[in-house]
């Protein structure tokens, strides 16, 4: 149980966030932001299914795009960026 209480510090859009070990990146993002991404019509998106199927929670994690925040556990020093979907046209 003690490992679950280890505080993990990570960056979300440049802001420092501390959450316990075992938390998802989605939960860490939710501490400081409501929107996880933007679509081509500028509509904002955030997690829907919570179980890795809807892909609405995709963010950039340590430089890698399109990572599901709900499927990824927080790690010390992680850099998370909420993303903007490119315009389609």
Partner 1 sequence: MAERYDVLVVGAGPAGLAATQAAAGYGARVGLVDAQSTQGGQVWRRDVRGAVPPDAAAAFRAVANLPNLDWLAQTQIVAATQNELLVEHDARARSLRYDKLVLACGARELLLPFPGWTLPGVFGAGGAQALVKQGWPIAGKRVVVAGSGPLLLAAAATLKKHGANVLGIYEQAAPAQLAAFASRLWRWPAKAAQAVALRAALAGVTYRAGAVVAAAHGDAQLRAIELRIGKQMRQIDCDHLAVGYGLVPNVELAELLGCALDASGRHPRVAVDADQRTSLANVYAAGEICGIGGRDAARIEGAIAGHAAAGAMQAAQAMQSARRRARRFSALLEMHFALDPRVRELATDDTVVCRCENVAWSALRDFDDARAAKLQTRCGMGACQGRICGTALAELGRYARGGLRPPIFPARLATLADSDFASIENQTAQ
Partner 2 sequence: MSAFDLIVVGAGIVGAACADLAAAEGLHVAIVEPGPVGGGATAASMGHLVVMDDDPAELALSRYSQQLWEAYADLPEAEFSRCGTLWIARDEHERAGIAAKIARLAQAGVFAEAIDANALYELEPELAPGLAGGMLVAEEAVVYPPRVAEFLVKRATARNARLYLGRRAQRLVAEGVALDDGTRLSGPVLVATGCAVPELLPMLPMRARKGHLVITERYPAFVRHQLLELGYADSAHGNAPVSVAFNVQPRPTGQVLIGSSREFDDSRDISMSTVRTMLSRAFAFLPRLRYLQALRIWTGFRPTTPDGRPYLGAVPGLRNVWVAAGHEGLGVTTAFGSAGLLIDQLFGRRPAIDPAPYLPLRALA
52 in contact with partner 1 (CB under 8 A): yes
Q: Strands 79-81, 64-68: parallel, antiparallel or unpaired by DSSP? A: unpaired
Long-range own/partner contacts, residues 1-9 (CB < 8 A, 24 or more apart): 8/74, 8/75, 8/76, 8/78, 9/76, 9/77
Given partner 1, partner 2, none, residue 81, with its beta carbon under 5 to 8 Å by kind, binds: none
Of 1, 4, 42, 64, the residue at the interface with partner 2 (CB under 8 A) is 64
Q: What is the DSSP letter of 85?
A: P
Candidates 9-17, 26-34, 42-50, 80-88: pick the segment binding partner 2 (CB under 8 A).
80-88
Considering the rule CB under 8 A, would residue 15 count as an interface residue with partner 2? no
């Amino acid at each position: 149980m003690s490992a679950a209480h280890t505080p993990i510090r990570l960056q979300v859009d440049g802001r420092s966030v501390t959450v316990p070990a075992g938390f998802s990146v989605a939960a860490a993002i939710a501490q400081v932001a409501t929107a996880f991404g933007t679509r081509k019509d500028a509509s904002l998106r955030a997690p829907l299914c919570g179980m890795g199927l809807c892909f609405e929670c995709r963010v950039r994690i340590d430089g890698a795009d399109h990572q599901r925040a709900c499927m990824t556990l927080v790690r010390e020093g992680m850099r998370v960026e909420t993303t903007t979907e490119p315009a389609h046209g």
